[in-house]
Structure 1
Amino acid sequence: MKTNKATLYVLLFAGVAAFNACTLDNIEDPNNPSITSVTNNATRGQLQTLVTGLEDLSKSYASTTANAEGTFGREIWYFNYNDPRNLQQWTGMTVTVPDENFYGVGGIYSTPYRAVKQANVLISAAQNTNVVSAEERLTYSGFAKTIQGYQLLVPANAQYENGIRIDVADENHPGPFLPYQEALAGIQKILQEGFDELRQAGNISLPFQLTSGYNGFNSPAGLAQVNRALAARVAVYQKDGQAALNYLKDSFLDLNGDLDRGPAHVYGAPPESYNPFYYVLGADLRTVPAPHPQFVEEAIPGDKRIKDKIFIRETELINTVGKVPLATRYQDKRWPTNTTPLKFIRNEELVLIYAEANILTGNLDEAIHAINIIRQAAEIGDYQGDKTVPALIDELLFQRRYSLWFEPAGHRWVDMRRYDRLDQISTELDGGTIFKQLARPENENNWDIYVANH
């Protein structure tokens, strides 16, 4: 889909090197196995390595997506003392409309497609080997498609009206760019296929191992719950409340359960990567995602979410390299260590999706019940506002702002855009611009030109 080799062909399998089959003859590398060596008669060990590589790749989007989209939605400012472009451009101080070479956001587009490619290789490998049973084969494919659906949602939300490609199985002949709503429908189709396969696998044990990030979900039924949770997220983006409610029935939604429960990206010491959001509290930091002051100052007094998420520093975090000097006394304190896992969807979000779905379907009493679950957990008391759809949407977005703050899906930016409220995100402190979407990357545009001429 683009001339960037790493985007197109990276395969995390025993150190497989990136290659470009479009511009180079296929040359066997004596030091690294080829893709065909694992897509034909793969061993269980090779399948396991593909699964491990896929899980690892599936977290690569998180840092850039959270930092950039968190800045777009003014959840944070991303201070980078060494390069002012993170602040100047991401806040729209110096760029009012992102172009195809917009600084520092390539990972939002490229890394999810690397995971999609890896998932395609895993599916092919599982289909073309006789070392697994038919039921086991379904678990590999169901897991891979669940990851594909989630990964494709990342560039879809960033590109928005530009659309994305869903069909990228053949890089030389990729599918068309689908507008946002069609892309969401395509993502739902992939997720549905994965869910069906996981259900058809029955009660067998997974033939592969996942990291501790999937503890509690490391079975076909558990992965199916994760799949339906992601489908419910997509459904509210489609403004299909009934579909969201249907998906939630098969998810891990628990209105009376632990709000923090959910699957996670895991981190560790090298060769693993460290948690990219961990910073020593109170340290002299020059490069750091700095909580936006208004996030704290506009909270309801006593909100436990502020207590749990925000550390108040003795000295300010200051950035003077931008067009407008910025400062905040706040720091993210959710990460006790540099190996703390990062949840990528949690029961708290599912409760809020449940609330939104009930608003969309007109069941306002049940929506208020769900909202009150969140409010009670935050220790701010029950909802006392009007029982109307506009008032409850206001309340829902307010609660999502504080419950889902600075999580890797860019919730605040996406939420305000999908309710046509981007103009309500304040730029008072930085004097910047709120973007609607990112531009299609130059490499993607160049790929169509390349294909047309070869």
Structure 2
Amino acid sequence: MKNVKKYFASALITAAVLASCNPLQLDEVQDPNNPSVGSVANNATPQQIQFLVTGLESRHRGYVTNISQAWNTFGREVWYLNASDPRFQTDWLGQNGRVPDRSYFGFGSTGGGSWATPYQAIKQADVLILAAQNTSLIPETSKSAVRGFAKTIQGYQFMIPANFVYENGIRVDVRDPLNPGPFVPYAQALDAIKAILDEGDADLAAAGTGNFPFILTRGFTGFNTIQGLRSVNRAIAARLNAYRKDWQGVLSALELSFMNLGGPLQIGPSHPYGAAPDIFNPLFYVPDAAINTIIVVHPSMLDDATPGDLRVQNKFFQRTTPVTVTTDAGALVGTHQDARWASNTVSIPFIRNEELILLKAEAHANLNQPALAVEAINIIRNAAGIGEYTGATTTEALIDEILYQRRYSLWAEPWGHRWIDARRYGKLSEIPTSYDGGTVFTQFPHPQAELNWDEYSGD
């Protein structure tokens, strides 16, 4: 994080100097998080490119808080208990007939972390690509590397709004913010995202070998080479191909990813956090703290657990005093909290080896290759200390087993895996609502501000 702080500090100093010369000339301020296009569009310096790379990493993690709290609530992996505002419970759990609307609580007028924030990262990547392309101060291989990195992040970020609104569709063509393209259906959006990721992989391949030419944060430790970034790109492509039901595509992507059947399950790139001027890990809560605003383990995760599962032991911390919040449908009691983070500066992985192994199992199951599916499942089961799989090996039985293992292996990760998994296999009705008297949502409408653009932009 020292490098991040150095670049943040340099950006602030540069801004102060420019402001002292001409306080009205704001277009020249070099801010890694909110760069003006004009200041970097022509012959950007390597340092300016570095600012944009660091800024993109920062934008890349902007979705984490909202998705972790909300989507994992939709899938009943967690409850986000908030005694000061009951809407975090009543609205997000769909109590008393509440349904998603265009101004749904907790997402803001533009969709917050589930809509606007991913698009901000996508646009940041566009600025980075433009800056690298239009400068003569870095070599062509570096330009290719930057494009590949930026498109890899874009592919990841586009999947967030796509899964938020689902069949309502998203805009993929947003390069011209004043003239965005139309909404495209979910399947078409996924195909477009695949093209972006494939382009990113090709750009990285054209960059040669060796280290990425700019400094990445510790979130990419172990992946800050060209080959390392390609392996991250392919890991994201494997997740995407599972959503596309391209099972051979999943396996092909995994072959080029960082999947390691014999390696640590935690390995993968992450979102780094730290003290000021950075931000703290938003998922960390002091164990047993006397608070009434906290993410707690959904009780079904405890009730449905396999005895002796080490994931339950390692991820769930039993509180001395439960957290209780009263809602219209009754009291919600959180007996356990998240135990994954040792401190508020621990990085949060955004894709891990454990997920990749489970994707491999899922692909083999869907391709009617049960022996290979079971082999991958057993890697996960043995790591969890629950023994090898002995159930039926029909496709349906194996998918049920894989989805069960994904519940505990990928619990509360900043993606809402269980909500998406249940939806793509037609199992939303299996998500338990008896604990909170709510409903399970299928998808969300476009935020009102997004529709206002189409209605008023021509005026």
Report the TM-score, using the length of structure 2 for normalisation: 0.92
Q: CA deviation at 1:29?
A: 2.2
- 1:191 aligns to what? 197
Q: Which moved more, 1:281-290 or 1:226-235?
A: 281-290
CA displacement 1:100-143 (0-9 Å, x = unmatched): 00001222101000000000000000000011111111000000
Paired residue secondary structure (1:137): helix
Separation in 1 of the partners of 2:199 and 2:210?
Answer: 19
Q: CA deviation at 1:199?
A: 1.1
1:74-93 aligned within 5 A = 74-93=76-95
Separation in 2 of the partners of 1:44 and 1:95?
Answer: 54
> How has the CA–CA distance of structure 1 residues 284 and 321 changed in structure 2, closer, same or farther, with 3 Å as cutoff?
farther
CA displacement 1:409-454 (0-9 Å, x = unmatched): 100000000000000001001000100011110110001112232x
Choose which of 26, 29, 32 in structure 1 pairs with 2:26. Answer: 29
Please tell me whether the aligned partners of residues 219 and 272 of structure 2 are also in contact (alpha carbons under 8 angstroms): yes
Gaps of 5+ in 2: 1-8, 16-23, 31-35
- 1:350 aligns to what? 356
1:7-156 aligned within 5 A = 14=11, 28-29=25-26, 32=29, 34-105=36-107, 106-107=111-112, 108-156=114-162
The AA in structure 2 aligned to 1:376 is N
- 1:301 aligns to what? 307
- 2:163 aligns to what? 157
1:218-237 aligned within 5 A = 218-237=224-243
Separation in 1 of the partners of 2:37 and 2:99?
Answer: 40
Separation in 1 of the partners of 2:151 and 2:254?
Answer: 18
Tell me if 1:423 matches 2:425. Answer: no
> How has the CA–CA distance of structure 1 residues 13 and 101 changed in structure 2, closer, same or farther, with 3 Å as cutoff?
farther
Q: CA deviation at 1:317?
A: 1.2
Choose which of 408, 414, 417 in structure 1 pairs with 2:414. Answer: 408
Q: CA deviation at 1:13?
A: 10
Choose which of 319, 330, 338 in structure 2 pairs with 1:332. Answer: 338
RMSD of aligned C-alpha atoms? 1.6
Please tell me whether the aligned partners of residues 150 and 230 of structure 1 are also in contact (alpha carbons under 8 angstroms): yes
Separation in 2 of the partners of 1:273 and 1:441?
Answer: 27
- 2:403 aligns to what? 397
The AA in structure 2 aligned to 1:102 is Y
Q: CA deviation at 1:320?
A: 1.6
State percent identity of aligned pairs: 49
Please tell me whether the aligned partners of residues 201 and 233 of structure 2 are also in contact (alpha carbons under 8 angstroms): yes
- 1:201 aligns to what? 207
Please tell me whether the aligned partners of residues 364 and 373 of structure 2 are also in contact (alpha carbons under 8 angstroms): yes
- 1:20 aligns to what? none
- 1:6 aligns to what? none
- 2:264 aligns to what? 258
Q: CA deviation at 1:30?
A: 6.6
Separation in 2 of the partners of 1:120 and 1:94?
Answer: 43
CA displacement 1:210-250 (0-9 Å, x = unmatched): 01110110011100000000000000111111000000010
- 1:435 aligns to what? 441
- 1:450 aligns to what? 456
Q: CA deviation at 1:297?
A: 1.6
Paired residue secondary structure (1:111): helix
The runs of at least 4 consecutive aligned structure 1 residues that moved more than 3 Å come to 12-17
Paired residue secondary structure (1:77): strand
Tell me if 1:244 matches 2:250. Answer: yes
Q: How many residues align?
A: 433
Separation in 2 of the partners of 1:362 and 1:264?
Answer: 33
Separation in 2 of the partners of 1:122 and 1:322?
Answer: 48
Separation in 1 of the partners of 2:96 and 2:49?
Answer: 47
Report the TM-score, using the length of structure 1 for normalisation: 0.93
Paired residue secondary structure (1:329): strand
Separation in 1 of the partners of 2:446 and 2:10?
Answer: 29
The AA in structure 1 aligned to 2:95 is M
Separation in 1 of the partners of 2:26 and 2:379?
Answer: 57
Separation in 2 of the partners of 1:30 and 1:367?
Answer: 55
- 2:4 aligns to what? none
The AA in structure 1 aligned to 2:425 is Y
Separation in 2 of the partners of 1:265 and 1:175?
Answer: 30
